[in-house]
Amino acid sequence: MPGDSDTLGSSLFAGVCERPLLKGASALLAGSALPFAFAPVAWAWLAVIALAAFFVLVAQPSKRQALWSAYLFGLGYFGVGVSWVYISISEYGNGPLVAVPATAAFVSLLALFPWSAAYLVRRLRPEMDGVALWLGLPMAWVLSEWARTWFLTGFPWLFIGYSQVDTTLATVAPVFGVLGVSFLVALLAGGLAWVVLGPSLRRVAAAGGVLVAVLAGLQLLDREWTQPAAEPLDAALLQGNIGQGQKWDPDYRDVTLERYQALTEQQLGADIVIWPEAAIPMWYDQASEYLAGLETLADQAGTSLMVGVPVREANGRNYNAVVSLSDPSGFYYKRHLVPFGEYVPFRDMLGSALDVLGAPMSDFTPGREAPVLQAAGVPVGAFICYEAIFGAEVTELLPEAQLLVNISNDAWFGRSLGPLQHFQMVRMRAIETGRDLLRATNTGVTAAIGHEGKVIKRAPQFEVATLNVEVTPRTGATPYVRWRDWPVLGLIALGLGLLLVSRIRRHQRAGT
């Protein structure tokens, strides 16, 4: 790995962009451009370029200006990338007066993650040489992404690895997951930044050599990690297209139930019929008679039903659930809930003060287990909406599950970037696990995804639709299912640990 000690502050970039305001504007622009690497635009190459711009800005001589640029980059990145938060709160929550400060606070918090990556490397490698660009910054960036999987219950949205679902870099996902893909993108960005900061034939040749080595290594990983376990199944995915403003309106309940019943009766005879998240806008016990009638019809036709419905128990616990009406029947309770969407945090301290941001029916309780359901004689791993963005949690359903099912209600995203970004992350789950994946949503994106992440078939958004598709149950476990994120985290710990040791030794030598 290149490790020259050139003074990067005297580089081409520093000569072109010396003014703090111009550097700040460049950082904001680069961060704002990065979301276009993701769906729906999906300019995957832009992820390398935008992240390289971030690394260049972080490497400038002034530490203060570098960190300020890192924070502005984060503001642009998340300000554009999660702009759907404003739409969700404004249109389906409590209006612009709540949406503006809530979105601004959220984006400001998320912007601290790129800032923290920059701060860490500036501390460990103040000279910001080739080692910092090729090793420190890529690892610190991925570490900041991993921190977002658990910080304040987690928000792992827009990991740069997701931008590569349609590129050859995605072949690393079944082995090292989306964080492994993020590391490769960051590594290439580090090489590009290294060349930009000191352009020379030697640097171009070295960076080109690393690129060739990466591509050659990916070819070794391009293989089948799982195998077909049974004959293909015929599945029907229902998309009711119930408006978010109508979904929980009692006056609209009968229309909803009649729509899903009619769509289901048209698909009797399929192996599996799948409804979206909370397709039934009432408690499971309240809908028992309705569901019993559907179950009888489905059993007579040899069809398994999987339905999204909230469940309440006598002990006062409420769950967002997937119910399999097959024989045997089963329940999956959503384990990773959305703060302020499905429950109000700090309820014991704040009482009803934040109910304005809470769940539509009642606070939900997280499920504690990851049971595999049965449908059409196949073990099915189900997960609900927000859970799709937590790759390591989805692997808890594997390797027992031979088919994955994701149900969701993305209507609260509105006509924003959100649904397509969410769908892109679901595709990564199929790649990581080596399983075909069925996704039924209220307003879209409803689709079937092959075990390599390719879209088999997709329904149009914001329409009442039924998607008929054939999928194949699969068996076996990818390396990622077995290892999860531990290899990537171990590599990061080793790399940043070496930088820390080097920093300590240099400090000791300076003191003697």
**Helix-strand-coil split of the chain, %, nearest 5:** 55, 15, 30
Q: Locate all alpha helices (DSSP H) within 93-136, ordered by sequence.
A: 96-110, 112-124, 130-131
Q: How many CB atoms lie within 10 A of CB 131?
A: 24
Tokens of 502: 């080097």
| β-pair type (455-458, 447-449) | antiparallel
Q: Indicate if 369 belongs to the active site.
A: no
The answer to whether 153 and 387 are in contact (CB under 8 A) is: no
Per the residue annotation, which of 23, 334, 342, 432 is the catalytic one?
334
CA distance 81 to 58: 21
Query: Tokens 């490497």 appear where?
Result: 59
- Three-state secondary structure call for residue 394: helix
**Beta 272-274 vs 447-449: how paired, if at all?**
unpaired
Number of H helices, E strands in the chain: 19, 14
Q: Is 295 a catalytic residue?
A: no
**Burial class of residue 43 in the structure, from the number of CB atoms within 10 Å of its CB (0-12 exposed, 13-18 middle, 19+ buried):** middle
Give which of 220, 94, 203 is closest to 168, Cα–Cα: 220
With contact defined as beta carbons under 8 Å apart, do 188 and 164 qualify? no
Is residue 328 reached through a cis peptide bond, with omega within 30 degrees of 0 on the bond before it? yes
Q: Which of 145, 295, 385, 393 is flagged as catalytic?
A: 385
- 356: its two tokens: 């304005």
Catalytic residue among 23, 145, 247, 277: 277
Which pair of structure tokens corresponds to residue 114?
Answer: 């790129």
Backbone angles phi, psi at 256, to 5 degrees: -60, -50
Active-site residue flag, 17: no
Burial (Cβ within 10 Å: 0-12, 13-18, ≥19) of residue 504: exposed
Q: Which residues are catalytic?
A: 277, 334, 385
